[in-house]
Amino acid sequence: MADSRLFYAVTLLSCIGAVMSYSLAAYITSHNGYTHFHFFVRQIIAVICGILLMWGLSKLDVEAHFKRIGVTIFLLSIILMVGMHFLPQSFVSSAGGAKRWIRLSFISLAPSELFKIGFVYFLAWSFSRKFVSNVQLSIKDEIRIFIPYLLLFIVAVVLIAVLQNDLGQVILLALTLGVMLLFAGGSLRLLGIIFLGTISTAFLAIITSPHRILRVKSWWASAQDSVLALLPQGWAENLRVSGLPEPYQIYHATNAMSNGGFFGSGLAEGSIKLGFLSDVHTDIILAGITEELGFLGLFGIMLLFGYILLLLFRIANRAANKMHYLFCIGVGLLIGFSLIINAFGISGITPVKGIAVPFLSYGGSSLIANCIAIGLVLAISKSQPQTQTSS
């Protein structure tokens, strides 16, 4: 039987996200003339679809269908990401002038969310054939083997960072690729080369984009006091930069978390959503949760995330098939890194990246894509000895 603990934990987290989408979207529903349940209804429909997908995929014979589903997700997501830019404007939604969603009559689909799952599948399939072995490779051989993955990553950079103007997703994929490579048997030397290449590419992407430069400046405006406090006073004064833009998102997000205190202001009683950050139910949801449920509520949610990651890595550890092992690792990394990048952004540790919190942030594409990934992991867990999983 599939690991029901993982199924119920993801279901609980998704339901919490749906409730918070109702509570935290109060201002934007009123401002736009929507009904109070506008976002809640859409999110709960996505939750139901996600639950059904998890349940249905968990029933599949993983040996017979896993590769077929993985290849389909990978190829379909690439076709959608490319094809989206040739669709009429009436069929796409934009953010910052970049096309990111395919708009249908009943749903908006973000192909990049599906691509992340296909990307992890491809890495798991290919790494299991190329790197998982007891043979010690030279750095030259490792680089030669890695070149096709580099080309794929360049394709991802073009499709997501360039055409969709979304550097955050590329950073997420780069982190996932690097750590999966280590689990597959790649060396630290190769990882170091990849890390330097990624940092160089990210730096180039930032300095050639005015809005990314502005975002970094906004982050430094809030972070410089904490960073410079660690240096001698003379050095700190020389390095301090004045005239920086106000860190609007970080300022209000950290204020909301501070206002929540230990127990929170109460469900639907928060103030950050009242025009300060009207879209707090999306990428800034952790700040809204902390204000209304307090650090106690946030701690409970972090424990739930930790439990989900623990179950994912346990299932990976028990997988006899190397491809299944790497896929479970990759899904865990996607969820874990998404959470960390988002949390670091709203707390001011790093610039805000616009990465959704898995299962919590409003948005059907992210939720359904993650539920598909969890459903495949559940199918993998079903193939393991019943005494080692929860029935």
**Which pLDDT value is given to residue 49?**
95
| Closest C-alpha to 256, from 342, 346, 340, 343 | 346
Residue 98 dihedral angles phi and psi, to the nearest 5°: -110, 140
**Which pLDDT value is given to residue 216?**
79
Residues 6+ apart with CB under 8 A from 124: 70, 180, 323, 324, 325, 326, 327, 329, 330
Q: Kindly report the CA angle at 61 between 55 and 66, in degrees rounded to 5? A: 90
End-to-end CA distance of the chain: 5
User: What's the pLDDT band for 255 if we cut at 50, 70, 90?
Assistant: confident
Residues 6+ apart with CB under 8 A from 192: none
> Under a CB-based contact definition with an 8 Å cutoff, are residues 20 and 312 in contact?
no
Q: How far is CA 254 from its chain centroid?
A: 21
User: What's the pLDDT band for 245 if we cut at 50, 70, 90?
Assistant: low
User: What's the pLDDT band for 184 if we cut at 50, 70, 90?
Assistant: confident
Which residues in 96-192 belong to E strands, given as ranges?
A: 98-103, 108-109
User: What's the pLDDT band for 379 if we cut at 50, 70, 90?
Assistant: very high
Residue that wins the pLDDT comparison between 386 and 117: 117
User: What's the pLDDT band for 143 if we cut at 50, 70, 90?
Assistant: confident
| Mean pLDDT within 107-124 | 90
Q: Using the predicted structure, report yes or no on whether residue 116 has a pLDDT greater than 70.
A: yes
Q: Using the predicted structure, report yes or no on whether residue 196 has a pLDDT greater than 80.
A: yes
| In the chain, domain spans | 4-76+110-186+243-383
**Which pLDDT value is given to residue 390?**
44
DSSP letter for 89, please.
G
> Under a CB-based contact definition with an 8 Å cutoff, are residues 360 and 17 in contact?
yes
DSSP 92-137: EEEETTEEEEEE-SS-EE-HHHHHHHHHHHHHHHHHHHHT-SSPPP
Q: Which residue has the tokens 């055409």?
A: 163
**Which pLDDT value is given to residue 92?**
79
Residue 303 dihedral angles phi and psi, to the nearest 5°: -65, -40
Residue that wins the pLDDT comparison between 254 and 373: 373
Q: Specify burial of residue 344 (Cβ count, 10 A radius: 0-12, 13-18, 19+).
A: middle
Residue that wins the pLDDT comparison between 133 and 241: 241
- Measured from the Cβ of residue 372, the count of other Cβ atoms closer than 10 Å reads 22
Instruction: Retrieve residue 188's tokens.
Output: 């630290």
Q: Using the predicted structure, report yes or no on whether residue 150 has a pLDDT greater than 90.
A: no
User: What's the pLDDT band for 133 if we cut at 50, 70, 90?
Assistant: low
Judged by average pLDDT, the poorest of 316-320, 347-351, 385-389 is 385-389
Instruction: Retrieve residue 251's tokens.
Output: 């300022």
- In 126-137, which positions are buried (b, 16+ CB within 10 angstroms) versus exposed (e)? bbbebbeeeeeb
The model's pTM is 0.87
| Closest C-alpha to 155, from 109, 196, 118, 101 | 118
Instruction: Retrieve residue 359's tokens.
Output: 């299962």
Judged by average pLDDT, the poorest of 21-30, 174-183, 235-244, 349-358 is 235-244
Q: Using the predicted structure, report yes or no on whether residue 335 has a pLDDT greater than 60.
A: yes
Instruction: Retrieve residue 340's tokens.
Output: 């960390």
| Closest C-alpha to 122, from 336, 378, 327 | 327
**Which pLDDT value is given to residue 388?**
45
Q: Answer left, alpha or beta for residue 109, where phi above 0 means left and psi between -120 and 50 means alpha.
A: beta
Instruction: Say which amino acid occupies 365.
Output: S
Q: Kindly report the CA angle at 280 between 275 and 282, in degrees rounded to 5? A: 145
Q: Specify burial of residue 121 (Cβ count, 10 A radius: 0-12, 13-18, 19+).
A: buried
Strand-pair category, 92-95 with 108-109 = unpaired
The arrangement of strands across the sheet holding 108-109 comes to 92-95, 98-103, 108-109
